[in-house]
Homo-oligomer: A and B are copies of this chain.
C-alpha cells in the first residue's frame, strides 16, 4: 500500500510525449524510413531535436495571444514547414508533409508503458493529460495499443501545460478534487505546475528521452510525492 498521502488518489493523469512514448527515437526511425524511400540523406536525430525545440516557442505564441487557440498538430506543421526550408527539403509534396507531421500520431511507447498502464488501470482511472490534441492522442492510442480509460488534453482547456487551466479542467472533467489525482511525468516542470494546483505528483525517469547526452530531468525534484524508475516500478509502488 502506498503511504497515506496517496491513499485517496483515484486517477492517474499521464504526460505523454517523453513519459509514455519515445518521441525522439520514433521520429528518427520514421524519418530514416522516409529518407530511404525518397533517396535523401538527413541527420534525423538533429531534425527531431530541432522539431521538438520549436514546440515551446510555438506554444508561447498561443499563450501570448499572437496566435488564437491552435491545436498541436497545426503547431507541429508550422514548425515542420520552417524546418523543411532549413534542411533543403522544400521539394517534399503535401502527402509527404502530412506523413511526416503525423509521425507524432504513431510514436512508439517505452517498453514498460503498456504493461505498467495495464497493471495500474486495475485500480485507478488512467488518463492522458497531454499538450497533444485529442485526435493525435486517440490515433496514438490505437496505433500503440495504449489502454487509456479517458483521453484528456490541453485542447479541452484551450490552454497549454504548464498553465494551471489544463490541470484544473482535468480535475473538473474527472469530477475529482486535485488531491485525488496523481500527475505522472518525466518532467519536473509539469509536476511542479500540477502540484501548484493541488495534484499529487510522481516522477518517472526517462533519461534517454533527449538521447544519450540528456542533461535535464535526470532526477526528481525534492517535493514529488513519489519517484519511479519506470511504469512497472510505479505499479509496484502503487498497487
> Residues of A at under 8 Å CB distance from B?
71, 73, 125, 127, 133-135, 138, 141-142, 149-151, 155-156, 173-176
Residues of B within 8 A of A141 (CB): 149
Q: How many copies altogether?
A: 2
**Quick check: A134 and B174 within 8 Å, CB to CB?**
yes
Q: Which of B125, B135, B150 contacts A173 (CB 8 A)?
A: B135
Residues of B within 8 A of A150 (CB): 134, 138, 151
**Quick check: A175 and B73 within 8 Å, CB to CB?**
yes
**Quick check: B155 and A173 within 8 Å, CB to CB?**
yes
Residues of B within 8 A of A73 (CB): 175
Most chain-B Cβ atoms within 10 A of its Cβ — which of A71, A142, A151, A175?
A175
Q: How far is the CB of A150 from chain B (nearest CB, A)?
A: 5
- Name 16 extra pairs, CB < 8 A, besides A127-B138, A134-B175, A156-B173: A71-B175, A73-B175, A125-B138, A133-B173, A134-B173, A135-B173, A135-B175, A135-B176, A138-B149, A138-B150, A138-B174, A141-B149, A142-B149, A149-B151, A150-B151, A155-B173
